Amino acid sequence: MNEPQLIIIGNGMVGHHLVEQLIERGATAQYRITVFGEERHRAYDRVHLSEYFAGRDAQSLALCDADFYATNGVELRLHEAVTAIDRDRAEVVTDQGRYPYDRLVLATGSYPFVPPIPGHERDNCLVYRTLDDLDAIRAAAENATTGVVVGGGLLGLEAANALRGLELDTAVVEFAPRLMPMQVDAEGGELLREKIESLGVQVLTDRATQRIEDGEASFHRMVFQDDKVLETDLIVFSAGIRPRDELARDCALEMGERGGVVIDDRCLTSDPAILAVGEVALWNDSIFGLVAPGYRMAKAAADTLCGGETTFTGADMSTKLKLLGVDVGAIGDAHGNRNPSARTFRYLDEIKQEYRKLVVSGDGRKLLGAMLVGDNATYDTLMQYYANGLELPEDPASLILPSTEGAPTLGADALPDGATICSCHNVTKGAICATLDAGATDLGAVKAETKASTGCGGCAALLKSVVDHELEARGVEVDQSICEHFAHTRQELYDIVRVEGIKTFGELIDRHGHGLGCDICKPAVASILASCFNEPITDAAHIPLQDTNDTFMANMQKNGTYSVVPRVPGGEITPDRLVVLGRVAQKYGLYTKVTGGQRIDLFGARLEDLPDIWGELIEAGFETGHAYGKSVRTVKSCVGSTWCRYGVADSVGMAIRLEHRYKGLRSPHKLKFAVSGCTRECAEAQSKDVGVIATEHGWNLYVCGNGGMRPRHAELLATDLDDAQLIQAIDRFLMFYVRTADRLQRTSVWRENLEGGLDYLREVVLEDSLGIGDELEAQMRTVIDAYECEWAGALNDPEKLKRFRSFVNDARPDPDIIVTEERGQLRPA
């Protein structure tokens, strides 16, 4: 007897997850499964699609290995679109033939909606949905300088980020009166607009495009309803999605009034042989445009096909996002529209650009919804209150108001077993506990068994907290060792090195570890040794511990060349030195760019040219900028009282003083400083690890801020300090961080995990509550006194210079480095 034929149309994230669920249930013994995907790529991660422009490729975005389907007995037919479903003959039709089915699943997803604007079909009018779409955008951007995204929702802002990453002057045009109208209210939308505009992206709301025509200065001219115009070279439509339901419509399945294939709780359509999942499916008059509901549908559909009982009963549409580097979170009834008796709490900080809103029940006991713009730090806690119906604190506003202790948080022990930890895969705390009871002993085993934190990854921190807590509750000691070679934390290793005066990795591992070391412990110990003694990292005893960047004292770039970043203290540079940088860049064919840290980066240096380049720079008075190290990078400054009519102190002078003082300090993670000459804050000191702002009464000191993937505002540690007090406070703060932080832990994360919070940090740094102030200052003096420019030392050592060649047995340069010219400069081909 032949096996029943199961055909799945669509190989997106939900279609792929359905296959995983079927394999998990042993369905390959019950069905012969065939999957059709119209794209040439196997299933890939659309959640992180924008990372394609940041260097990831189709292979790294793929959701499985190339042989996954074949290994598990599933036939995958890529680049073969299904064009029709013949329900009478139970067959699907492609341009390559007809294929019979016994059961059929529609996982066709959605397509980007392009408004029927006259001119929308012109060249360089594109959409943002697939890898091929992104290839088309990248190709069009090569001959463009400006780009516009039509649509200011989630996908529109993702597309804007992509255009900005392609170095186009970018604008967002939104029909609604605010950005992300489904997720944020008027106040949140205005703050989101301000934050995005501060990044250099123009935002135009309340704009309806009437037509697109030939431009004068650019390829397109967009004409709006008020006859205002905007010219651009490239247009990307990201104005929403529509279900890919044409196959279902053509074969007369029951459809929703506004599209989508109607399904029941078992994901069955009006034809019991056909199921639908994901964005093509209409359940209870709702289309779900997020991956988590799609995964839940896939699980229900797999159970339906295999005789199980799981059903789809809807899904929460709460979201935690980072768009153009800006945090946005929406939970439940964030607008407060569903409950007439709901009460609302709002907090708006226009200086820090943070907006938080709570919607609570009339009695103030339950959280109905929440909205966050600018800072998602409290999202996980609020989500647990909402998802599990937990009773709120006596003062619900404490969950969103700033305080020295921070907002009340829910520990892992406060969460019920039914608490959802991972919404993508619907993993509860109870499921995690069951996995631990079944024998899992670490985070990796829990993730492998439950799939928790393998979707969008937003639950990673909460998952680790729950696993660690539950292991400890079961009497299992949670191993915090830095790696298998040392049964110590980074902090413990730091104390051992400092107390015992150990100066080499070999001596440390002989006394306190075992084996040969690894890529985790070697760089960590290298950093510890440098922090304690500041011996040159290129010395023979230390060089085997360094990663590529530290080994060659330069950052390796994507094409195998290196960047050269001389120090420019405080951003101040003489015309003569500017000329030197220009001359060196011309001589060695280097791409030049002024950075956000007020330095000039020179990109594209070949390995064998690095000594000659640095020889010329050092002769002109430059020294290494440590751009390659976990160390102090830059001290940004405004022009201060020297030039600015608002300045109340010499911010440039202080920035130069701080940069020269701390330029040799190695730390668990990179460090960035800034000094502003007044409270107008032009140097953006409140987003730095160490931020200094001048007032009429002295210096205010902010600490533990950072940009990057998870921005965090710095916190005010001390006010009205004179120069000596400022230096002393920074010395103690930095050394306390270096001494107690974990491996590769930023100051912001260190501060969030610091027991006692900011008050404790003040007590240690300002009041010397631990009695270690003199010791911390002495440690800093040791580092400062031992400083030397690493490049200057390397140039005087013939043995060190031997490292700078592409091939051990050949002096010729690397022939695989190929460049092309763009905007008058060389870049990787």
**How is residue 100 written in tokens?**
């019979």
Beta strands 32-37 and 75-78: pairing type? parallel
Q: Which of 217, 246, 201, 4 is nearest to 108 (CA)?
A: 246
Rounded CA-CA distance 466/469 in Å is 5
Q: Between the CA of residue 710 and those of 311, 453, 537, 658, 789, what are the distances in Å? A: 36, 17, 30, 26, 32
Residue 389's pLDDT is: 84
Residue 218's pLDDT is: 93
Residue 828's pLDDT is: 77
The amino acid sitting at 364 is: G
| pLDDT of 202 above 60 | yes
Rounded CA-CA distance 722/463 in Å is 45
Residue 546's pLDDT is: 85
DSSP letter at 667?
A: -
Of 377-391, 399-413, 434-448, which range is least confident? Answer: 399-413
For 574, residues 6+ apart whose C-beta sits below 8 A from its C-beta are none
| pLDDT of 407 above 50 | no
Q: Based on the number of CB atoms within 10 Å of its own CB, is 279 exposed (0-12), middle (13-18) or buried (19 or more)? A: buried
Sheet strands (E) in 652-762: 671-676, 690-695, 698-703, 715-721
| pLDDT of 484 above 50 | yes
Question: Domains in the chain, ordered, with CATH?
Answer: 5-111+243-306 (3.50.50.60), 125-238 (3.50.50.60), 319-473 (3.30.390.30), 490-546 (no CATH)
| pLDDT of 217 above 70 | yes
Mean pLDDT in residue range 686-707: 92
Confidence of residue 759 (pLDDT cuts 50, 70, 90): confident
| pLDDT of 799 above 90 | no
**How is residue 332 written in tokens?**
């439940």
Neighbours of 231 (CB within 10 A): 15
Residue 789 annotated as lining a ligand binding site: no
Mean pLDDT in residue range 85-100: 96
Of 375-389, 527-541, 693-707, 796-810, which range is least confident? Answer: 796-810
Residue 318's pLDDT is: 81
| Residue 243 near residue 261, CB atoms below 8 Å | yes
pLDDT in tens, 616-651: 999 999 999 998 889 998 999 999 998 888 889 999
Beta-bridged to residue 675, according to DSSP, are: 637, 692
Q: Please provide the DSSP assignment of 17-37 as one string.
A: HHHHHHHHTTGGGT-EEEEEE
Rounded CA-CA distance 108/241 in Å is 13
For 60, residues 6+ apart whose C-beta sits below 8 A from its C-beta are none
**How is residue 793 written in tokens?**
């030392």
pLDDT in tens, 22-58: 999 999 999 999 999 999 999 998 877 877 776 677 8
Of 220-224, 283-287, 315-319, which range is least confident? Answer: 315-319
Q: Between the CA of residue 823 and those of 146, 198, 252, 557, what are the distances in Å? A: 14, 25, 54, 19
**How is residue 616 written in tokens?**
């010329």
Residue 405's pLDDT is: 43
Q: Which has more pLDDT, 317 or 23?
A: 23
Confidence of residue 708 (pLDDT cuts 50, 70, 90): low
| Residue 344 near residue 334, CB atoms below 8 Å | no
Rounded CA-CA distance 270/254 in Å is 6
Query: Alpha helix (H) ranges present in 72-228?
Result: 131-141, 154-165, 186-198
Token pair 């992300």: residue: 180
**How is residue 808 written in tokens?**
């051990």
Residue 157's pLDDT is: 87
Q: 513 by DSSP, 3-state: which?
A: strand
Residue 509's pLDDT is: 92
**How is residue 398 written in tokens?**
């404490």
Residue 54's pLDDT is: 66
**How is residue 269 written in tokens?**
């359509």
Residue 83's pLDDT is: 96
Q: Based on the number of CB atoms within 10 Å of its own CB, is 786 exposed (0-12), middle (13-18) or buried (19 or more)? A: middle
Neighbours of 97 (CB within 10 A): 9
Residue 516's pLDDT is: 87
Q: How many residues does the chain have?
A: 829
Q: Which of 43, 40, 37 is nearest to 63 (CA)?
A: 43
Rounded CA-CA distance 312/154 in Å is 25
Q: Which of 449, 484, 482 is nearest to 463 (CA)?
A: 449
Residue 300's pLDDT is: 95
| Residue 247 near residue 82, CB atoms below 8 Å | yes
| pLDDT of 17 above 90 | yes
Beta strands 103-106 and 274-276: pairing type? parallel
Q: Between the CA of residue 110 and those of 245, 289, 308, what are the distances in Å? A: 8, 9, 28
Q: Based on the number of CB atoms within 10 Å of its own CB, is 147 exposed (0-12), middle (13-18) or buried (19 or more)? A: buried
First to last CA, the chain: 57
Residue 3's pLDDT is: 86
Residue 102's pLDDT is: 96
Residue 644 annotated as lining a ligand binding site: yes
Average pLDDT of the chain to the nearest whole number = 88
Longest dimension (CA), the chain: 90
Rounded CA-CA distance 647/67 in Å is 63
Please give the share of the chain, as a percent, with pLDDT higher than 70: 95
| Residue 781 near residue 774, CB atoms below 8 Å | no
Residue 461's pLDDT is: 66
pLDDT in tens, 593-618: 998 888 899 998 888 889 999 999 99
Rounded CA-CA distance 448/741 in Å is 29
Neighbours of 558 (CB within 10 A): 7
Q: Please provide the DSSP assignment of 402-458 as one string.
A: --TT-S----GGGS-TT-EEETTTTEEHHHHHHHHHTT--SHHHHHHHH-TTSSS-T
Please give the share of the chain, as a percent, with pLDDT higher than 90: 51
Residue 823 has, within 13 A of its CA and on its CB side, a CA count of 12
The dihedral sign for the CA sequence 64, 70, 74, 80: positive
| pLDDT of 805 above 90 | no
Residue 807's pLDDT is: 65
**How is residue 825 written in tokens?**
């400069």
Sheet strands (E) in 50-129: 75-78, 82-86, 91-94, 97-100, 103-106, 110-112, 125-127
| Residue 720 near residue 700, CB atoms below 8 Å | yes
**How is residue 456 written in tokens?**
């969008």
| Residue 149 near residue 127, CB atoms below 8 Å | no
CA angle 38, 42, 43 (to 5 degrees): 95
Residue 232's pLDDT is: 96
Residue 678 annotated as lining a ligand binding site: yes
CA angle 366, 368, 370 (to 5 degrees): 115
| pLDDT of 494 above 80 | yes
Highest mean pLDDT among 149-158, 193-202, 252-261: 252-261
| pLDDT of 406 above 50 | no
Residue 638 annotated as lining a ligand binding site: yes
Rounded CA-CA distance 808/369 in Å is 62
Mean pLDDT in residue range 658-662: 95
Residue 404's pLDDT is: 38
Beta strands 367-373 and 555-556: pairing type? unpaired
Mean pLDDT in residue range 336-341: 86
Backbone dihedral angles phi then psi of residue 748, each to the nearest 5 degrees: -65, -45
Rounded CA-CA distance 469/478 in Å is 9
Mean pLDDT in residue range 726-730: 97
